[in-house]
Amino acid sequence: MSEKENFIISPGQLDLSRLKSLQRKPAPFTPGEPLFWDDPHISGQMLAVHLDPDTDLASRKPETIDKSVAWMMTELGLQAGDHLLDLGCGPGLYANRFAQLGVRVTGVDYSRRSIEYARNYAKMLDLDIIYRYQNYLDLEDEVLYDAAVLIFGDYCVLKLAERQKLLAKVHRALKPGGFFVLDVSTPHLADHQGEKSSWYASEAGFWRSTQHLMLENGFAYPDEMIYLDQYIVIEGDGSLTAYRNWFQDFDREMIVSELENAGFHVQSLWGELTGEPYEESSEWVGVVARRKP
282 and 256 housed in the same domain: yes
Rounded Cα distance between 181 and 271, Å, is 13
Give the pairing type, strands 13-14 and 8-10. antiparallel
266 and 284 housed in the same domain: yes
CATH number reported for the structural domain that contains residue 279 in this entry: 3.40.50.150
Q: What domain count does the chain have?
A: 2
75 and 116 housed in the same domain: yes
In a domain, 154, yes or no: yes
The whole-number pLDDT of residue 2 equals 44
Q: Which domain holds residue 286?
A: 44-187+250-291
Rounded Cα distance between 47 and 55, Å, is 12
Give the pairing type, strands 174-185 and 145-150. parallel
Q: In what order do the strands lie in the sheet with 104-109?
A: 130-133, 104-109, 83-87, 145-150, 174-185, 284-291, 264-270
Largest CA distance in the chain: 66
270 and 172 housed in the same domain: yes
In a domain, 38, yes or no: no
123 and 266 housed in the same domain: yes
Rounded Cα distance between 129 and 151, Å, is 18
Q: Which residues of 213-249 are buried (b: 16+ CB within 10 A; e: fewer)?
A: bbbebbbbbeeebbbbbbbbbbbeeeebbbbbebbbb
In a domain, 65, yes or no: yes
In a domain, 66, yes or no: yes
183 and 122 housed in the same domain: yes
The whole-number pLDDT of residue 9 equals 73
Taking the model in full, what pTM does it have?
A: 0.94
88 and 176 housed in the same domain: yes
102 and 205 housed in the same domain: no
67 and 107 housed in the same domain: yes
Tens digits of pLDDT across the chain (293 residues): 344 577 777 777 777 888 888 889 999 999 999 888 888 999 999 989 899 999 888 789 999 999 999 999 999 999 999 999 999 999 999 999 999 999 999 999 999 999 999 999 999 999 999 999 999 999 999 999 999 999 999 999 999 999 999 999 999 999 999 999 999 999 999 888 789 999 999 999 999 999 999 999 999 999 999 999 999 999 988 889 999 999 999 999 999 999 999 999 999 999 999 999 999 999 999 999 999 98
In a domain, 36, yes or no: no
19 and 119 housed in the same domain: no
